[in-house]
Amino acid sequence: MDDALLRARAVLASARRVVAFSGAGVSAESGIPTYRGDADSLWSAGNFERFANPRGYRRHLPESYRWYRERAIAVARAQPNPAHHSLAQLEARVPDFTLVTQNVDSLHLRAGSKNVIEIHGHLRDARCDDCGRRIPWAQAPDHHDCVCGGMLRPDVVMFEEMLDERALARAQDAARRAEVLLSIGTSAQVWPAAELPLIAQESGAQVVIVNPDLAGQPAGPSVIGLEGRAGEVLPRLL
């Protein structure tokens, strides 16, 4: 990896416009399971059908509400790892830096990153599907009934739901303008988020991928693959 690491360091050192695009792998070393890959993954077994889309969520209440509430409490207890800290430090030295994260765990914000687009929402609050009221999960009831009589749900984007249009447009614009896009810890399977590295690539950016498994990731002359765990590779890179 050393040659690739040196090349990635060189392109980053001179870049003025950088986008970091992160996925669940960035938080794996903080003890938060990823979505795909092994038996402990969040979308393993029946979880995807029960919890990943709004129909499954409604059908499996109150279990689905409690599943998200437990996840929210678990991520609030987790701590940012060296990957999150490295990205916060990178932001301080790049004039135009945008961090687009698919993660809902708030660990980038807690590590000090500022210009963060949470493209799939977050697990800080429960939200009423009817009146829009938001309640921090730590104060949320143990059942899904809102005081208005509506249904509480997580403030995340589920499958079959639209991403926030303005957040997506900002992320795409940043990818188009980027000189370097770092894609870290994502399987790059979920659209439209997964299009961001391709948008950057097509716009002439250098794409640097950090992942222990480079199979299935974007490839080509403008892509540098750094094989390894984010918490180890990012501190060395930055």
Stretch that binds ligand OAD, among 68-76, 89-97, 183-191, 196-204 (CB under 6 A): 183-191
Separation between Cα atoms, residue 194 and residue 85, nearest integer Å: 23
| Tokens representing residue 13 in the block | 């050192």
Separation between Cα atoms, residue 182 and residue 180, nearest integer Å: 7
Selected binder of ligand OAD within 12, 24, 87, 207 (CB under 6 A): 24
Burial 21-41 (b: 16+ CB within 10 A, else e): bbbbbbbbbbebbbbebeeee
Selected binder of ligand OAD within 25, 56, 154, 225 (CB under 6 A): 25
CB 34 → ligand OAD: shortest distance, Å? 3
Under the binding rule (CB under 6 A), the answer on residue 214 touching ligand OAD is: no
Q: How open is the CA angle 137-142-144, to the nearest 5 degrees?
A: 85
Stretch that binds ligand OAD, among 19-27, 87-95, 122-130, 167-175 (CB under 6 A): 19-27
Per-residue mark of binding to ligand OAD, 84-123 (x: CB under 6 A):
------------------x-----------------x---
Query: Minimal CB distance to ligand OAD: which residue?
Result: 25
Residues 6+ apart with CB under 8 A from 116: 99, 100, 101, 108, 109
Beta carbon nearer to ligand OAD, 61 or 158:
158
Separation between Cα atoms, residue 183 and residue 206, nearest integer Å: 11
**Could you tell me whether strands 180-184 and 206-211 are parallel, antiparallel, or unpaired per DSSP bridges?**
parallel
The single residue of 84, 85, 108, 120 carrying the catalytic annotation is 120
Active site residue 108: no
Residues carrying an active site annotation:
120
Provide the binding-site residues for ligand OAD, judged by CB under 6 A.
Answer: 23-25, 28-29, 34-37, 102, 120, 156-157, 185-187, 189-190, 210-213, 229-230
